[in-house]
């Protein structure tokens, strides 16, 4: 179901001013919603102010700066609609940092890679209306608060908490050039995304290569195939059949489509940031353990990426 098109001005708080957070901020701002970025420090507030707002480069090359408001999490004004676009490992801390400010009927959208934090958020905050989202939008930061939109994808959003499931559908309209769709089974889409990320990200991080190498290099292709077979078995053991096609075929298509890209995990390693390995491969290994499924390939990748993160 597409989000409806009638005009409703809403106040959106966005936590996580990375590429996707800045893209959402600009698109909602352009659509005349009230938008407030929640930033982690006074230095970040200063950086935004020095930049004059959020600078956005559209896919046609047009560059504009939008005067988006910002504040710290400590502010005590209520939050009605919250999008968390942090890295997966920061989701819970991010949510806890503003939990006191959420109105009783607030909507919270969790938009990140991986699985685990979404379920944890529902367990920790059962009274909240929580939605999970996954996106194929492409964007990257050229510098802090300067986002480049690399491609237009789709963002799928679905209810994951009891309250969100029983509430009226979420309305985000209008939402600029974001393509947002409300769907019933978001968990399945999150599993599919995790499966693709598990196939591509750790191998590219460990081999310091672009996504395309996983297809063009026979040894890496074989390794990716073995990982895919295992991920499919784990998913099936959890009652989550993945794609209609074999996972390996899907992973090959995506690695080919993004052949010139560095995966987000490799970028994290290169920039000496934490990776999302625990929410991707780590999540799958935990599920394998719960269901008594063998997962030697994924366990090895998990250990190797953990090691790599330690020795940087």
User: At its nearest, how many Å lie between ligand KPL and the CB of residue 193?
Assistant: 7
Q: Which of 64, 193, 245, 271 is catalytic?
A: 193
User: At its nearest, how many Å lie between ligand KPL and the CB of residue 261?
Assistant: 5
User: At its nearest, how many Å lie between ligand KPL and the CB of residue 220?
Assistant: 14
Q: 173 near 3, Cβ under 8 Å?
A: yes
Between 55 and 197, whose beta carbon lies closer to ligand KPL? 197
User: At its nearest, how many Å lie between ligand KPL and the CB of residue 113?
Assistant: 6
Instruction: Specify whether 271 is catalytic.
Output: no
Partners of 156 in the β-ladder: 134, 181
User: At its nearest, how many Å lie between ligand KPL and the CB of residue 209?
Assistant: 12
Ranges of H-type helices in 12-155: 19-30, 42-51, 91-98, 117-124
Query: Tokens representing 204?
Result: 């590219």
Q: 206: Cβ–Cβ under 8 A, 6 or more apart, which residues?
A: 301, 304, 305, 308
Please compute, for residue 160, the number of CA atoms within 13 A of its CA located in the half-sphere on the CB side.
Answer: 27
Q: Using CA atoms, how far apart are residues 137 and 221, in angstroms rounded to an integer?
A: 26
Residue of 215, 185, 181, 178 lying closest to 200 (CA atoms): 215
b/e burial code for range 99-123 (CB count within 10 A of at least 16 → b)? eebbeeebbbbbbbbbbbbbeebbe
> Binding string to ligand KPL for residues 200 to 229, with x set by CB under 6 A, is what?
xx---------x------------------
Residue of 177, 13, 7 lying closest to 94 (CA atoms): 13
Is residue 86 involved in binding ligand KPL (CB under 6 A)?
A: no
Residue of 126, 78, 71 lying closest to 103 (CA atoms): 78
> Binding string to ligand KPL for residues 253 to 282, with x set by CB under 6 A, is what?
-x---x--x-xx------------------
User: At its nearest, how many Å lie between ligand KPL and the CB of residue 245?
Assistant: 16
Strands 11-15, 79-84: pairing kind: parallel
> What residues from 185 to 204 belong to the interface with ligand KPL (CB under 6 A)?
196-197, 200-201
Residue 265 CB coordination number (10 Å): 26
Between 31 and 118, whose beta carbon lies closer to ligand KPL? 118
Between 81 and 261, whose beta carbon lies closer to ligand KPL? 261
Between 98 and 214, whose beta carbon lies closer to ligand KPL? 214
Phi then psi dihedrals of residue 3, to 5 deg: -65, 145
Between 25 and 200, whose beta carbon lies closer to ligand KPL? 200
Between 175 and 261, whose beta carbon lies closer to ligand KPL? 261
> Binding string to ligand KPL for residues 44 to 83, with x set by CB under 6 A, is what?
----------------------------------------
> What residues from 104 to 133 belong to the interface with ligand KPL (CB under 6 A)?
113
Q: Which residues bind ligand KPL (CB under 6 A)?
A: 113, 196-197, 200-201, 211, 254, 258, 261, 263-264
Q: Which residues are catalytic?
A: 193
């Amino acid at each position: 179901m597409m989000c409806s098109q009638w005009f409703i001005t809403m106040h959106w708080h966005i936590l996580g001013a990375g590429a996707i957070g800045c893209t959402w901020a600009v698109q909602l701002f352009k659509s005349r919603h009230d938008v407030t970025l929640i930033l982690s420090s006074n230095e970040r507030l200063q950086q935004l102010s020095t930049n004059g707002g959020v600078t956005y480069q559209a896919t046609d090359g047009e560059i504009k700066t939008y005067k988006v408001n910002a504040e710290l999490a400590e502010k005590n004004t209520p939050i009605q609609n919250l999008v968390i676009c942090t890295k997966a490992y920061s989701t819970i801390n991010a949510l806890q940092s503003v939990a006191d400010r959420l109105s009783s009927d607030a909507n919270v959208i969790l938009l990140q890679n991986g699985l685990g934090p979404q379920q944890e958020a529902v367990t920790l905050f059962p009274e909240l209306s929580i939605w999970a989202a996954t996106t194929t939008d492409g964007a990257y930061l050229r510098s802090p608060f300067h986002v480049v939109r690399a491609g237009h994808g789709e963002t799928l959003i679905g209810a994951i908490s009891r309250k969100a499931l029983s509430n009226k559908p979420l309305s985000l309209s209008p939402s600029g050039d974001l393509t947002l769709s409300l769907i019933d089974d978001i968990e399945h889409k999150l599993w599919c995304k995790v499966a693709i990320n598990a196939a591509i990200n750790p191998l590219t991080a460990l081999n310091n290569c672009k996504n395309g190498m996983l297809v063009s290099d026979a040894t890496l292709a074989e390794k990716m195939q073995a990982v895919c077979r295992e991920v499919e078995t784990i998913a099936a053991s959890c009652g989550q059949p993945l794609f209609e096609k074999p996972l390996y075929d899907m992973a090959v298509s995506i690695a080919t489509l993004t052949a010139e890209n560095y995966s987000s995990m490799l970028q994290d390693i290169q920039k000496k940031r934490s990776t999302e390995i625990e929410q991707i491969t780590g999540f799958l290994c935990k599920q394998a353990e719960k269901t008594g499924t063998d997962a030697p390939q994924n366990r090895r990748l998990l250990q190797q990426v953990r090691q790599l993160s330690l020795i940087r």
